[in-house]
Amino acid sequence: MTSARRAPCKNYLTENFTLRSWFFTTDHKRIALLYFASITMFFFIGGGAAAAMRYILLHPDGAPVSAEIYNRLFTTHGIVMVWFFLVPAIPTTFGNFLLPMMIGARDVAFPKLNLLSWYLFILGGSFVLYALFVGGLDTGWTFYAPYSTMYSSGHLIAAVTGIFIAGFSSILTGLNFIITLHRLRAPGMGWYSLPIFCWSLYSTSVILIVATPVLAMTLLLLATEHLIHVGIFDPALGGDPLLFQHLFWFYSHPAVYIMILPGMGVVSEIIPCFSRKELFGYKFLCWASVSIAVIGFLVWGHHMFVAGISMYAGLMFSFLSFAVAVPSAIKVFNWTATLHKGSISFEAPMLYALGFIGLFTIGGLTGLFLATLPVDVHVTQTYFIVAHFHYIMVGGMVTAFFGALHFWWPKITGRMYPEIWARFAAVLMFCGFNLTFFPQFILGYEGMPRRYHVYAEQYQVLNVFSSGGAGVLAVAYLLPLFYLGWSLIWSRRASANPWQATGIEWQAPSPPPKDNFTHPPKVPAKPYAYVTPGADHD
């Protein structure tokens, strides 16, 4: 390896090669990679469960598995994807890696706490994996009581314990980010010089800290009723099933924004870079993130329109749900306006960012259908809702994740990824995604309920389309494993700033040394100071 000898100085990867130096590291970049390996594993476990479900749904009679196996598959898919991929995905990997670098810091505020959150995440994940390994559970990721507490027969306690513990990991990460952003910004770096990615992570962290304890309490109450039959949610014991739903969605709706806000942050970095243009409406994007985080706490009732809340409660939650869509719309308009009179190139990260705008907008617009009460009454609990939240979660968040992965891959690994393969995977992912989930909107309006493994024959054609799309999607998700793996060894080395981006993280070498910067970073007067070729800049 002659090229290795030419590497200028030790970087965070070559600093030390012992296992101990990885598992006891307090370097935010190494912790980010630990998280990266963990959530990749969870992504493929959750994805495997989804693939099995799509295979089963090829036939309306539910062969070749029993109802119980199907029920355990969708529960596995939901729990693993929500808590062990979507919620931690961007904050713990790109957030951990980039947040300190974007503000010119050497690490997060509490490096040891950061390592502790990874261990908590792994401990929680182990409980969940144990629950799945010994047979799983069939409550759905929503754990609706009294089914979960009194009637289901899976490994509820192990799974709930795992999620409970992983929640502390979320809280510690959120705490770390907030304090890092308050205390460790480089001299001269004000709040309005922060990249939108930092604003998004700040908003996300606030939600993590405020909402996650409610989830922890809810799960504790769930376990209490399940183990010692204290009546909390089961009316037969004197409890109230709607109480569970209120508590659960008070966390789980804001959790949607935990998942999507960091994705919006990523897109706000990529679009200006590949348009060579300043981000349009910077301050509006900052405050749109914050308003989404705040209003996001007031809309949980829209999950319960048909659950037995009063008409007036329904009307109020409907109105607030429309309100939360306003800042999201503002974001989409601003990204689009950024493209105007830019100088746009279409490397893989940009393809993902453009895909994000399209898919997220479809997800958001179908959210309006669900906020409209009479339409919600018809399509909630059907495949329409499945399609809607996958457009936000997968079309939005996962697309942004892959965008971030390609955008910062040179910084993280010091290698360029193969552009042709990456573009191919991006396009394939977009097509596979739409083929999988668009038919589900129609299935939903036709009235096919979710969580059905046997269904009326009239729904089969669309289900076959959807399963076919899932096959394409699976290939698209596996491709990066190969070409990115290949790039680690054989691809050409990346310069410090291959995209000529303006973020401070690009002033560090690729990959960065242990303390991130070799020189004190220069803080630009304003973020996104891109110069469009041919524009009349003052």
Partner 1 sequence: MFDFLPPQAASLSPEIDFLFFGLLIISALVLGLLFTLLLLYCIKYRRGSGASRTGQEEKSWRIEIGWTAATLIAFVALFFWGADLYARLYEAPPDTLDIFVVGKQWIWKVQHPDGQAEIDALHVPVDRDIRLIMASQDVIHSFYVPAFRLKRDVVPGRYESLWFHPIRTGSFQLECSEFCGTDHARMTGEIVVMSQADYANWLATQAHGDSFAGAGEKLFRSLGCGGCHGPGSTVHAPDLAGLYGKTVALADGGFAHADDDFLRDAILLPQKRAPAGYAPVMPSFAGQLDESQILALIVYIKSLDEKPRKTP
Find the binding residues for partner 1 in span 125-144 (CB under 8 A). 138, 140, 144
Q: Which is nearer to partner 1, 27 or 278 (CB)?
A: 278
330 binds partner 1 (CB under 8 A): yes
Closest contact distance (angstroms) between CB of 423 and partner 1 is 14
Q: At a CB cut-off of 8 Å and minimum separation 6, what does 255 contact?
A: 82, 87, 207, 211, 215
Closest contact distance (angstroms) between CB of 438 and partner 1 is 13
Pick out residues in 310-329 that bind partner 1 (CB under 8 A): 311, 314-315, 318-319, 322-323, 325-326, 329
Closest contact distance (angstroms) between CB of 244 and partner 1 is 10
Closest contact distance (angstroms) between CB of 286 and partner 1 is 12
7 binds partner 1 (CB under 8 A): no
Per the DSSP assignment, residues forming a β-bridge with 494 are none
Pick out residues in 66-125 that bind partner 1 (CB under 8 A): 67-68, 71
Pick out residues in 38-67 that bind partner 1 (CB under 8 A): 62, 67
Closest contact distance (angstroms) between CB of 447 and partner 1 is 3
Binding mask 280-299 for partner 1 (x = CB under 8 A): xx--x---------------
Kindly report the backbone phi and psi dihedral angles of residue 344, in degrees, each rounded to the nearest multiple of 5, phi listed first: -90, 130
Decide if 110 contacts 179 (C-beta within 8 A).
yes
424 binds partner 1 (CB under 8 A): no
65, 123, 217, 307: residue in contact with partner 1 (rule CB under 8 A): 307
Q: Which is nearer to partner 1, 275 or 507 (CB)?
A: 275
534 binds partner 1 (CB under 8 A): yes
**Rounded to whole angstroms, how far apart are CA atoms 223 and 172?**
23
23 binds partner 1 (CB under 8 A): no
**Rounded to whole angstroms, how far apart are CA atoms 203 and 208?**
9
Closest contact distance (angstroms) between CB of 537 and partner 1 is 8
**Rounded to whole angstroms, how far apart are CA atoms 432 and 401?**
17
Q: Which residues of 489-509 are buried (b: 16+ CB within 10 A; e: fewer)?
A: eebeebebbbbebbbbbbbbb
357 binds partner 1 (CB under 8 A): yes
**Rounded to whole angstroms, how far apart are CA atoms 398 and 44?**
13
Closest contact distance (angstroms) between CB of 178 and partner 1 is 27
**CA distances to 223, 302, 420, 433, 519 from 530, in Å:** 53, 41, 26, 32, 22
Name the nearest CA neighbour of 364 among 319, 401, 327: 327
Residue type, 126: S
DSSP state of 105: -
500 binds partner 1 (CB under 8 A): no
